[in-house]
């Protein structure tokens, strides 16, 4: 009797001590506080709600429940690294830092720890070269793709000739904001436009001098690589000097409702690039309502549903879940390790048919990742703000990047990184 | 010659108006320092908190809604359509006066006659507490703020001069002038103003002649709360009310260094010099240095002034006798 009790206690103890091996741990390096919280909150909510939907509706991914580990970074690089260090031991499968600064810090660390990083549309652009950056993924597109797509769009607006035109870049004076400069310089050489560079220091609450320069030099187009309050102030200042808003185009991180609503009617016509759909007119929202919002399991108060950054958090979670599913198929187990997850990300293939199955028909671009290409298809569409209706709408189809320019830059930059860090590029396609 | 270029004068005017916006924040610092000798690190957060509260009243937001919903499983966010702007401003003022009372009773009362650095450290803590409280009470999303002030470029000024001058900034200048006049009269020509200055000179001496220290501090923090509300309205109307608003304090520091920590007119003049200086430097010399010079240039300009007048342009010269 005693022995059987001891054996039973042992079994129970073992059961308690052993972590739930089938849990899929997804850390969320969020920022719900501080100056950049208005951008961080909707993204974190979308990311969390998609995983909650999978848990509630499908019991997770292939039966493995998802566990979300949220850690507050405040969009601060040092805190982001602390979050990484404190959560990596929990079995974290993939990191989405939502900050170019944090991404730069995690590139060597995560690679050494064999944990993949998905810097979706941000971070180090040349990480698109999977031969050099084995653990870093930035699909479905990079800043350099975005810059070249915007220039392509301007070309189409100007009848294919922008020689002699003046294009200004108003950018966050940080690693993030500086990313597109090289590409825009190369494209200026190719197309013959003049590039004006106008940096704005963090946080960008005061930009009078920047917009006085825009007024003086009167560029034909203004591009913006901003984040947080910088976006709202820039849009308001542009309206104040009566700059034509349909010639003002932001990157996908300067493209949310938070950026345009404070500027009121002045923001009407402002444009931005995006890599996913706008609004909540997708079948998945019915499931979210039933299983998440109405069940009281939403991450936020539900007011962000359908907003640009909420949708972006959701699409990031969708690709993470699909990569986990792919990893399970490759390795024949639901008990994933970060290394298996990396394999799944490298073999990710979410086409139009799969998007429709997920309740997201036409929501984003088809993504097919490979060993050599971690940057995805590099497609983007232009969206435009209607201040009266307070909605974004897509005004173009998805446009491809200028691969001739972008691929050459990626090859150069990744080769330099490989040389600096003694990395032998992998032989693969 | 750029002096005769109309664009140069547009830069100067824009700089002056931006300087007024900095001065509105600096005024709050000056008031508290002048009356209590405390360098209030929390002034920027006070402006944020006031603006958040105003928008909350204006839009009918339920304070602590997220917390309430989490604890009780409810789903409440708004109690109605909100209050008229003037009533909302009145209620916000009441909140700021109440907050001043709490700050004095809970924080400052226990630190009477302590070193300035200890009081300064207390305001750092206060800044973090208020920022967290604002987040929990009203949420961290961007809130558009419209109190009916005109905005956009002034057509009259464009027609007359060709310059683009923002109407909101003209309003800020008018409000700043009214504030400075009122505060100067209050500080220099009223019995209460004299009491405030007596407290600033020496807490113990003021107590010994029968000045009620707590009451004085409550009044001065309430007035600083009013100034914070004005600054919060002006900056919030410009960029929407959001947590980066607390960082406007960083714009006030060089203004204080230049204008002096104890002078109300100094805060205005300092703001104007910093505003014009940083704009002119950024436009005409910034491109040579890669741009984005505004933040550091303001501090450099203030430091240069300090070399010649360590107490600032209008600050009181401190003479220590053995």
CATH number of domain containing A90: 3.40.50.2300
Length of chain B: 322
Residue from the list B152, B247, B291 with its beta carbon closest to the beta carbon of A203: B247
Contact by Cβ (8 Å): A422, A365: no
For residue B65, which residues of chain A lie inside 8 Å, CB to CB? 301
Identify the bridge partners of residue A380 per DSSP, sorted by sequence position.
Answer: A399
Same domain, A91 and A74: yes
For residue B112, cis peptide bond before it (omega within 30 degrees of 0): no
- pLDDT over 60 (residue A6): no
For residue A34, which residues of chain B lie inside 8 Å, CB to CB? 243
Measure the CA–CA gap between A189 and A187, rounded to whole angstroms.
Answer: 5
pLDDT band at A377 (very low <50, low <70, confident <90, very high): very high
What tens digit of pLDDT does each residue of A382-413 get? 999 999 999 999 999 999 999 999 999 999 99
Same domain, A223 and A285: no
- pLDDT over 90 (residue B180): no
Interface of B with A in 162-181 (CB under 8 A): 164, 166
Last residue of a domain, one of A332, A355, A378: A378
For residue B10, which residues of chain A lie inside 8 Å, CB to CB? 212, 215
What tens digit of pLDDT does each residue of A357-372 get? 999 999 999 999 999 9
For residue A37, which residues of chain B lie inside 8 Å, CB to CB? 135, 140-141, 242-243
- pLDDT over 70 (residue A333): yes
Sign of CA dihedral B37, B43, B47, B53: negative
For residue A205, which residues of chain B lie inside 8 Å, CB to CB? 235, 239, 244-245, 247-248, 251
Residue found by looking up tokens 């946080």 in the block: A203
Give the gap in angstroms from C-alpha A25 to the nearest C-alpha of chain B: 24
- Coil, strand or helix: which one is B209? coil
B200 or A385, which is more confident: A385
Beta strands A349-350; A248-250: pairing state: unpaired
* Mean predicted confidence (pLDDT) in A259-263: 90
- The H or E element containing residue A136 is strand A136-137
Measure the CA–CA gap between A126 and A149, rounded to whole angstroms.
Answer: 17
pLDDT at position A3: 47
Same domain, A246 and A152: yes
Cross-chain residue pair A205–B244, CB shorter than 8 Å: yes
* Mean predicted confidence (pLDDT) in A106-112: 97
Lowest mean pLDDT among A362-366, B56-60, B91-95, B146-150: B146-150
A132 is a domain residue: yes
Q: Is residue B101 within 8 angstroms of chain A, CB to CB?
A: no
What's the start-to-end Cα distance of chain A, in Å? 63
Q: Is residue B197 within 8 angstroms of chain A, CB to CB?
A: no
Angle, helix B43-59 to helix B116-138, in steps of 10 degrees: 20
Measure the CA–CA gap between A261 and B240, rounded to whole angstroms.
Answer: 9
Q: What is the interface pTM, i.e. ipTM, of the complex?
A: 0.86
Same domain, A150 and A62: no
> Does residue A63 come out as left (phi exceeding 0), alpha (psi in the -120 to 50 range) or beta?
left
* Mean predicted confidence (pLDDT) in A258-264: 90
Same domain, A163 and A259: yes
Question: For all residues of chain A together, what is the average pLDDT?
Answer: 93
Measure the CA–CA gap between B252 and B24, rounded to whole angstroms.
Answer: 8
Cross-chain residue pair B247–A215, CB shorter than 8 Å: no
Measure the CA–CA gap between B231 and B21, rounded to whole angstroms.
Answer: 7
- Could you tell me the residue range of the domain that residue A78 belongs to? 12-141+279-378
Instruction: Using CA coordinates, name the residue in chain A closest to B9.
Output: A212
Same domain, A137 and A283: yes
Q: Is residue B286 within 8 angstroms of chain A, CB to CB?
A: yes
* Mean predicted confidence (pLDDT) in A192-219: 94
Beta strands A379-386; A349-350: pairing state: unpaired
Same domain, A28 and A106: yes
Identify the bridge partners of residue A368 per DSSP, sorted by sequence position.
Answer: A349
- pLDDT over 80 (residue A83): yes
Cross-chain residue pair B238–A213, CB shorter than 8 Å: no
pLDDT band at A22 (very low <50, low <70, confident <90, very high): low
Q: What totals of helices (H) and strands (E) does chain A contain, helices first?
A: 15, 14
A371 is a domain residue: yes
A422 is a domain residue: no
Beta strands A136-137; A117-118: pairing state: parallel
* Mean predicted confidence (pLDDT) in B214-233: 92
What tens digit of pLDDT does each residue of B128-172 get? 999 999 999 998 888 989 999 888 888 888 888 888 888 888 998
pLDDT band at B322 (very low <50, low <70, confident <90, very high): low
- The H or E element containing residue A375 is none
- Domain count along chain A: 2
pLDDT at position B319: 65
Q: Is residue B73 within 8 angstroms of chain A, CB to CB?
A: yes
Cα dihedral angle (B236, B242, B246, B249), rounded to 10 degrees?
-40
For residue B238, which residues of chain A lie inside 8 Å, CB to CB? 233, 236
pLDDT band at A1 (very low <50, low <70, confident <90, very high): very low
For residue A194, which residues of chain B lie inside 8 Å, CB to CB? none
Same domain, A296 and A336: yes
Same domain, A260 and A311: no
Tokens read off for B192? 């209460």
pLDDT at position B1: 62
Same domain, A104 and A83: yes
Residue from the list B144, B164, B245 with its beta carbon closest to the beta carbon of A261: B144
Measure the CA–CA gap between B9 and B20, rounded to whole angstroms.
Answer: 17
Same domain, A312 and A365: yes
Lowest mean pLDDT among A9-18, A88-97, A402-411, B130-139: A9-18
Give the gap in angstroms from C-alpha B14 to the nearest C-alpha of chain A: 7
Same domain, A158 and A242: yes
Measure the CA–CA gap between A261 and B239, rounded to whole angstroms.
Answer: 10
Nearest to A28 by CA among A98, A116, A103, A122: A98
Q: Is residue B233 within 8 angstroms of chain A, CB to CB?
A: no
B267 or A11, which is more confident: B267
């Amino acid at each position: 009797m005693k022995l059987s009790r001891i054996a039973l206690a042992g079994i129970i103890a073992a059961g308690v001590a052993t972590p739930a091996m089938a849990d899929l741990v997804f850390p969320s390096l969020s920022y719900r506080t501080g100056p950049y919280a208005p951008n961080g909150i909707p993204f974190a909510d979308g990311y969390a709600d998609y995983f909650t939907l999978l848990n509630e509706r499908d019991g997770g991914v292939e039966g493995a429940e998802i566990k979300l580990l949220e850690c507050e970074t405040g969009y601060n690089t040092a805190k982001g690294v602390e979050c990484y260090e404190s959560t990596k031991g929990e079995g974290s499968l993939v990191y989405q830092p939502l900050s170019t600064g944090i991404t730069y810090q995690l590139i060597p660390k995560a690679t050494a720890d064999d944990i993949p990083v998905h810097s979706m549309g941000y971070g180090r652009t040349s990480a698109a070269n999977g031969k050099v950056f084995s653990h870093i993924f930035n699909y479905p597109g990079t800043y350099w793709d975005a810059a070249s797509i915007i220039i392509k769009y301007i070309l189409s607006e100007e009848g294919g000739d922008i020689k002699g035109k003046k294009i200004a870049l108003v950018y966050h004076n940080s690693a993030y904001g500086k990313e597109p400069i090289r590409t825009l310089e190369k494209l200026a050489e190719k197309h013959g436009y003049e590039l004006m560079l106008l940096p704005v220091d963090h946080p960008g609450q005061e930009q009078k001098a920047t917009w006085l320069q825009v007024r003086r030099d009167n560029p034909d187009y203004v591009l913006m690589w901003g984040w947080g309050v910088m976006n709202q102030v820039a849009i308001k200042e542009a309206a104040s000097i009566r700059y034509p808003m349909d010639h003002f185009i932001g990157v996908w991180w300067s493209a949310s409702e938070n950026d345009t609503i404070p500027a009121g009617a002045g923001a009407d016509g402002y444009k931005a690039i995006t890599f996913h759909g706008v609004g909540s007119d997708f079948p998945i929202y019915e499931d979210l309502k039933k299983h998440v919002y109405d069940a009281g399991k939403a991450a936020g108060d539900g007011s962000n549903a359908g907003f640009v950054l909420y949708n972006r958090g959701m699409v990031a979670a969708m690709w993470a879940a699909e990569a986990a599913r792919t990893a399970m198929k490759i390795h024949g187990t639901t008990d994933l390790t970060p290394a298996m997850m990396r394999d799944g990300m490298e073999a990710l293939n979410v086409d139009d048919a799969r998007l429709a199955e997920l309740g997201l028909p036409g929501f984003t671009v088809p993504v097919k990742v490979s060993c050599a290409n971690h940057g995805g298809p590099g497609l983007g569409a232009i969206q435009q703000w209607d201040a009266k209706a307070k909605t974004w709408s897509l005004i173009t189809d998805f446009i491809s990047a200028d691969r001739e320019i972008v691929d050459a830059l990626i090859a150069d930059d990744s080769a330099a990184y490989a040389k600096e860090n003694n990395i032998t590029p992998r032989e693969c396609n | 010659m750029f002096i005769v270029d109309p664009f140069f004068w547009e830069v100067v005017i824009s700089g002056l108006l931006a300087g007024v916006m900095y001065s509105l924040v600096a005024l709050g610092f000056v008031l508290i320092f002048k009356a209590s000798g405390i360098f209030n690190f929390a002034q920027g957060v006070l402006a944020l908190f006031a603006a958040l509260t105003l928008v909350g009243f204006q839009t009918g937001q339920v304070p602590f809604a997220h917390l309430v919903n989490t604890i009780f499983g409810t789903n409440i966010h708004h109690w109605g359509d909100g209050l008229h702007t003037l009533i909302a401003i009145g209620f916000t003022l009441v909140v700021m006066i109440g907050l001043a009372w709490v700050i004095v009773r809970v924080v400052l009362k226990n630190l009477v006659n302590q070193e300035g650095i200890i009081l300064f450290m207390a305001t750092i803590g206060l800044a973090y507490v208020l920022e967290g409280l604002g987040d929990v009470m009203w949420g961290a999303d961007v809130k558009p703020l419209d109190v009916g002030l005109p905005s956009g470029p002034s057509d009259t000024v464009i027609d007359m001069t060709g310059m683009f001058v923002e109407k909101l900034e003209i309003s800020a200048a008018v409000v700043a002038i009214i504030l400075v006049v009122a505060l100067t009269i209050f500080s220099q020509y009223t019995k209460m103003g004299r009491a405030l200055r007596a407290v600033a000179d020496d807490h113990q001496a003021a107590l010994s002649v029968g000045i009620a220290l707590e009451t004085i501090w409550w009044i001065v923090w309430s007035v600083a709360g009013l100034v914070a509300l004005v600054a919060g309205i002006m900056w919030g109307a410009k960029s929407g009310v959001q947590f980066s608003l607390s960082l406007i304090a960083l714009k006030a520091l060089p203004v204080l260094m230049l204008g002096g920590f104890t002078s109300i007119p100094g805060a205005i003049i300092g703001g104007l010099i910093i505003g014009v200086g940083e704009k002119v430097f950024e436009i005409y010399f910034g491109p040579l240095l890669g741009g984005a010079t505004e933040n550091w240039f303001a501090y450099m300009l203030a430091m240069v002034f300090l070399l010649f007048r360590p107490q600032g342009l209008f600050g009181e010269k401190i003479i220590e006798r053995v």
